[in-house]
Amino acid sequence: MAEASNAARRIVLTGAAGGIGTMTRPLLAKLYPGLVLSDRVTPPDLQPGETFLAADLTNPDEVAAVLKGADGVIHLGGHSVEGTWDQILQANIVGCYNVFEAAREAGVKRVIFASSNHAIGFYPRKKRIGTNLTVRPDSRYGVSKVFGEALGSLYSDKHGIAVTCLRIGNVGPRPLDVRRLSIWISPRDLVQLFRIGLDHPDLRYEIFYGASDNAAGWWDNSRAEQLGYRPQDKAEDHRAHAEAEQAKIGPDPVGDLFQGGTFCSAEFTNDVKRIVS
């Protein structure tokens, strides 16, 4: 993680105008001076000296142009919530493929893929889980994240790219409700996981959970800890706020049972007794 080598590295951040990109950009810029920002639209707060290259993820030529000469990619871009099948297909599946393929063609050594807790959203909240298990996506969005994890595994095994998949919970200054007390991650803890993906010498293909030091957490993140992850923030410090916000939301008979919350209850037509175990 030497600063001299980082200064010379070209790291591309897709989805730079989005919520997570906006929160992590200032921290990443200090660590990787060669940071290149990319999105379909220019970030409204673009600073002097920041490098921005517009690209639509569904356009392989535009993606290839952005990744030319890159050493690493933090791929946050795409449709960030549930959507129609066509929205998810284009932005999160076609777009994700274009990023990995452009990375391969450009000789990019490392890719960080922003997966999601919604890849495993149908696991019950009472169950603590690791990463070595069957995926249980809770939405079309969740399915796209499972696809990205599988694609990353393929490009790691077949083409030698070091790939890190981060099943991100909820990023922000503090948890928004009680569910997020279990899955919250602060921007600086997320950047710490980015650094492992970009810099750890022994990384080939890994799945980590994007979560801070949460006492109510549902996830075993021991593999990230083995590779040096030491979260600095705790969701419990914000419990009073989360509980106050939860009181405004009210109960969700389906979503409250599962880790994915409302993503599970949306369009739900099953009997919960068939899947809660």
> Which residues participate in catalysis according to the annotation?
141
Question: Strand, coil or helix: what is 231?
Answer: coil
Which residues have a Cβ under 8 Å from the Cβ of 202 and sit 6 or more positions away?
Answer: 227
Residue 268 CB partners (closer than 8 Å, separation 6+): 254
* Alpha helices, H only, the chain: 3-8, 19-31, 60-67, 85-88, 95-106, 140-159, 180-183, 187-199, 222-226, 239-249, 262-265
Write the CB contacts of 80 (distance below 8 Å, at least 6 apart in sequence): 15, 18, 19
Strand partners, 249: none
Number of H helices, E strands in the chain: 11, 9
SS3 52: strand
For the record, the structure tokens of 271 come out as 């009997």
Kindly report the number of other CB atoms within 10 A of residue 176's CB atom. 17
**Contact (CB, 8 A) for 28 and 5:** no
H-helix or E-strand spanning residue 11: strand 11-14
Neighbours of 253 (CB within 10 A): 9
Identity of the amino acid at 178: V
> Helix or strand or coil: residue 166?
strand
